[in-house]
Structure 1
């Protein structure tokens, strides 16, 4: 393991970076969520960032996958917790529209920023997303 960081430290740093990235992406968008901002937020050096992630896009892929999983979990929760599936579907849809409207920078897959993000990824990774 790298001098100064245990495996446990690296896992924590990775999680902190993911949380900071998601919060920034929601508010600032992809372009303005940069490595200096994230490392300052998490209080690590840029060198420590590159010990955890090879590039910014790798972090964004992890965050995007996490966000997708959270959306699916929340949607499933609405379906499971409602008396009727249609009622749960309506509640889930209302929540989803509110979420998309509140954080368009994170969810607008047709934006130029999202295109910029995808352009930096290998074709195989784009297909997986």
Structure 2
């Protein structure tokens, strides 16, 4: 059992845990990273780790949540200020998601088991993630409605397409790196054609 920490200590330690773990997950993947390595680098006991997280997968999901929040804030701000058409905006959204995955070795590392970790998360975590993602999609839809563009497609379908794209990108090695860009482009084109075109 770890010692009791002050609120300020907890905040600092949690940030350090995420920072150190993120670097390790990028380098060796979630599966091969060890909690003992993370706690040693942060300077806390193994017991202290469990003050903050149930396991390393729980820590990984917290890091993913931070990455998503940063990206979603960017997308919402872009919806408010962009001079692009609604079609070009949603193309940009899809490509921003692809770029985020391409640049983040934590997603691309073949040992990361990203999808496995997410799929094995608790029902409560999955419900929370779904609710947060749908809230962002609804927020983006409402911004575009205020700008005179009504998107008929429900948020669930839009989110489904985005998740499909990110799933494909994070499995580029399995699908084939020589075809992944072309496949992604076709999916994005079809997405815009079916769900976004005509949103006036």
How does the TM-score come out when normalised to structure 2? 0.49
6-15 or 86-95, which moves further after superposition?
86-95
The alpha-carbon distance between structure 1 residues 34 and 120, as it changes in their structure 2 partners (threshold 3 A), is: farther
Matches within 5 A, 1:40-119: 40-86=40-86, 87-103=88-104, 105-106=106-107, 113-118=113-118
- d(CA) in 2 for partners of 1:118 and 1:91? 25
* Structure 2 residues without counterparts, runs of 5 or longer: 130-200
- d(CA) in 1 for partners of 2:72 and 2:61? 17
- Confirm or deny: 8 A CA contact 1:24 1:33 kept in the other structure: yes
90-99 or 63-72, which moves further after superposition?
90-99
- d(CA) in 1 for partners of 2:124 and 2:41? 31
- Confirm or deny: 8 A CA contact 2:25 2:112 kept in the other structure: no
Matches within 5 A, 1:8-47: 8-47=8-47
Report 1 or 2 for greater relative contact order, CA contacts < 8 Å, sequence distance ≥ 6. Answer: 1
* Structure 1 residues without counterparts, runs of 5 or longer: none
